[in-house]
Every structure is written in C-alpha cells, then in structure tokens.
Amino acid sequence: MKRILLLSLIFGIAFLGACSQNDNKMNDMDQSSMEHEMDDDMMEEHMDHDDEVSLNDSTGKNELKIPKELEQDEKSKEIVYTVKAQKGETEIFDGIQTDTIGYNGAFLGPMLRFDKGDTVKIKTINELDEETTFHWHGLEVAGAADGGPHSALQPGEEKVIEFKVDQEAATLWFHPHPDGQTSEQVYNGLAGLIYIEDENSKSLGLPNEYGQNDIPLIFQDRTFDDEKQLNYDAAMNDDGTIGDTLLINGTLNPKLTVKKEKVRLRLLNGSNARNYTFKLNSGDSFTQVATDGGFLNEPVTLEEITLTPSERAEIVVDFSSLDTLDDLALIDEEGSILLPFDVSEQGGKEEEIPEEMNQFTITEEEKNLPVTKEVELFGMMDKVTINGKKFDPERIDFTQEQGVTEVWEIYNKPDEMGGMIHPFHIHGTQFKILSRNGKEPSKNEQGWKDTISVEPDETVKVAVQFQHKGVYMFHCHILEHEDNGMMGQIKVE
Ligand code: C2O
Ligand code: CU
Ligand code: CU
C-alpha cells in the first residue's frame, strides 16, 4: 500500500511540476495526462484514498464477541435454516444505540456450519425497507442460488434456496449483493460467516472448539459520526470507504482472552475497501493453515499476512511458545493495535499442526493451458471498468462450460497516478493461482482462492472451473468499485 501511495505521490508531483514549469512546451507525458482530463479534485481524492487513515488503537476494553452458531429450524433429516435480513439498534458504544442492520439480529449475522455432502435449504427473508440479496461468497452453488444482483428480494419477500455442499472444508461468508447498494448494506452491518467442515478438517487435530480456540475474526473499519451513527453517505468514498474505527465481529475496542495453547484464528477482511497486513507486535511468527477455500498442503510460517477485502486466511498462533505474553497484540502494518490478547496462565490442549493437511495440486495440463479469458482492471473513483466496460445486468461478458478449466489472465492496468490494488473475485468457484507476473505464487497462495489481490501493473493467471451452471458475477471486491460498475458476468452452461 505504501509503495502505491508513494508512486501516486511521485506521479502527482511530477505532473504538477511539469505543468507549472513548462507551460508552453508540453512533453508527451503531459499530453497524455491531459487527455485523460484529470482534474485536481479527482487527483487529490485519489491520492488521499489509500489507507492513510490510520486505525485507532484498540483499548482492549471489551471482550471480543463471537457470532452465534445458527441452529437448524428443527432437528430433522432435512437441514433447514432461516436467514433474515433485518433492521435494529446496537450498543457499540457504551450507553448509545447505533442504527444497524443484521442477519437474524441487529448487527452482522450468525455463523452457519455445513458439512460437506449436506443438502441445505435456507429460507431467506428480507425485512429491510429496501431490496437485498443473499450471496454466499466462496460457495460453489448454481447461479440461481448464488444471490447475485439478479436475485433481489423486495421488502417483505422471502425465498427458499437449496444446494448441496460439495466442496472441502473452508471459511466462507455471506453478504448482500443488490445492484449498486452492496457497499452501503455491508457497511451498515450485513455480513455473516460460513464454516464448511469435512472428514479432513475433523481429523487434522487443528484447534476446533468454536469460540474457545477456534476464533473467527471479521475485520471491518468504520467511521462514526458525532452521534455515533454509521452515516454511509457522509463517510462514502468512491474509491473505497475506509474509517478510523475498527470493529472485530462488531466489537469496538476488542480484546481476546486465550489460554496458553495453540489458537486458530479465522481472519476475514470484511471491510469495504481497507487492506490489512496483520502481524504480532512481538515480532513472533504464526502459521497459516488455510486460504479462502481450503487447507494449504503444508503449514506456512509467516511473520505477516496481507488480506484485501473479502479474502480469508486461517492462522494458528501458539500462545504456549511465545516469549513475551505481556501486552501481546495483533497489529497492522502501521502498528495500530487491532486486537490485544489476554493470555491466561491456564494451559490448554497440546496439539501439533500436521505436516500434511491437504492435497491441492496444479497439474502440468493446467499449467500449459492457453489463456482464454482476459480481464483488464482499470480506473479509479467512479470511473472504474473491466475490459473498458461498466457492469450491465443485460450483458453477458463471458461464457464458460461447466466442469471445464479455463485460464483467466487478470491484468491491473496502472493509471497516471500509479493505480491501486484491486481485489478480484469470481462467484461460484474456488480457483487456483497459476502465476503472478509469470512467477509461481508464494507458498501461502498455493491453495484454493476465490479472491486475489492484483497490484498495479501486475498480471495474475488463474485456472478456473465451475461445478455448476448459471450466471455469476466477477468483480473488484472494493465494494464501492463493485457498485460503481467494476463487475462483469459469466454464463456457465
Ligand atoms: Cu463477496 Cu460478489 O461478492
Ligand atoms: Cu462472491
Ligand atoms: Cu477496485
């Protein structure tokens, strides 16, 4: 992020400098810059955009809230859930009610746990005053159940969807996807978790006591106004809305109390636009065990990990082996304290992280496939496009055959300011990263992904296969970019 900001600054200064010194003799660069009608306002906002709004440190005043696990409607052979989008009020700040929206509650949503092989029915209900959809991010389901912008539920409407869970254990999430309104609805509180379990996840011996040593962490930055309300219109930035206040699972100033044991943290960047680079303030390393869509083959030791919006990673922190436990915290790249840990004297389970966790492979055949889909990400603010076009619900951009692997090449074309990272997401599939700028992806990206960060001027090749049919979205997961039309559609037949 810093690098891009710097690049933007250099470009910006060079541009301004060239303009003032050299009014008559315009060189090529000036001309091309002028052709794009970059007005000062836009430049300023763009330069302002990146993550330079630092996060306030968490004081650790409040114990982290853990989303409830959603119970099935009845214990029967059928697996039936009800998920309702509704309005409410939430006491985020002591003694103050903030207007929020949530699933089956006032703010955020429950965790839905599926087993691989389950046939799941979900009754979705819209109790908001506006249309919404129920999108299952990362789930491999038919287009009709995917909850894209075509599947809007009007206020008061309900709809039952059904699908079979046929993918490996992973941490996924769900959120709304109404055309043009996604960012505001997510910002105001609509987001929930999905855990998929399978034989492998149950037998690996990784920490799996929900809320004890298996902790979901949904990171969302927000701006609260003087009345401590979420005023989306006031906070909104076309290049991605960011805020100075971090909520984790909706908790302000969170802390997490843990035992001296290995703890699995399921990180979800649920923010509209902010990127996070997570690390421990002690400098200690941790172990990544899973990507967006499943376990890594082998654990990967890291000192930091970056997640762009909607990306997930499961990491294990071994609190029994750290030297200093005082003032231990999860921090970001700027050193802001995100989550202080309160490590009790109590020991816990002694589990080993297995050396072999999965059998994720990229075949020679996949490596040698020609590129058959090209995606060019470009622009900023409300001028964002994919392949030069904005989203049109009436237009199908690509078609692909069900069960056939194709290689997509995603290129982030820089602009005069240098450009910015776009997190690129495809619905209805988990895909494989073949290369980044021609090179093998890092070890911790050699696993199933549904969203990837694409840096300015970077080309990423991915192998994509859809298990089901239907129309799916692909888009930038900076939610304001998505709402501004940085989205296309693929029809799988
Ligand atoms: Cu999180 Cu269109 O998705
Ligand atoms: Cu999605
Ligand atoms: Cu974008």
Q: Check if 310 has its Cβ closer than 6 Å to any atom of ligand 1.
A: yes
Q: What is the pTM of this model?
A: 0.91
How far, in Å, is the centroid of ligand 3 from the Cα of 228? 28
3-class secondary structure, 41: helix
Atom 3 of ligand 1 has which residue's CA nearest to it?
137
Contacts of 227 (CB under 8 A, 6+ apart): 96
C-alpha angle with apex 453: 338 to 376, nearest 5 degrees? 150
Q: Is 262 in the pocket of ligand 1 (CB under 6 A)?
A: no
Burial 366-388 (b: 16+ CB within 10 A, else e): eeeeeeebebebbbbbebbbbee
CA angle, residues 479, 485, 487, in degrees to nearest 5: 80
Ligand 1 lined by 312 (C-beta under 6 Å): no
One pLDDT digit (tens) per residue for the chain, 493 residues: 444 444 444 444 444 433 333 333 333 334 344 334 444 444 444 444 455 799 999 999 999 999 999 999 887 778 899 999 999 999 999 999 999 999 999 999 999 999 999 999 999 999 999 999 999 999 999 999 999 999 999 999 999 999 999 999 999 999 999 999 999 999 999 999 999 999 999 999 999 999 999 999 999 999 999 999 999 999 999 999 999 999 999 999 999 999 999 999 999 999 999 999 999 999 999 999 999 999 999 999 999 999 999 999 999 999 999 988 899 999 999 999 999 999 998 888 788 999 999 999 999 999 999 999 999 999 999 999 999 999 999 999 999 999 999 999 999 999 988 999 999 999 999 999 999 999 999 999 999 999 999 999 999 999 999 999 999 999 999 999 999 999 999 999 9
CA 31 to ligand 3 center in whole angstroms: 26
Please give the backbone phi and psi of residue 415, each rounded to the nearest 5 degrees, phi first.
-110, -170
Nearest atom, ligand 1, residue 177 CA:
2
Å from CA of 424 to ligand 2 middle: 10
Burial track 226-260 (b if 16+ CB lie within 10 A, e otherwise)? eebbbebeebbbbbbbbbebbbbbbbbbbbbebbb
| Cβ atoms within 10 Å of 302's Cβ, excluding its own | 17
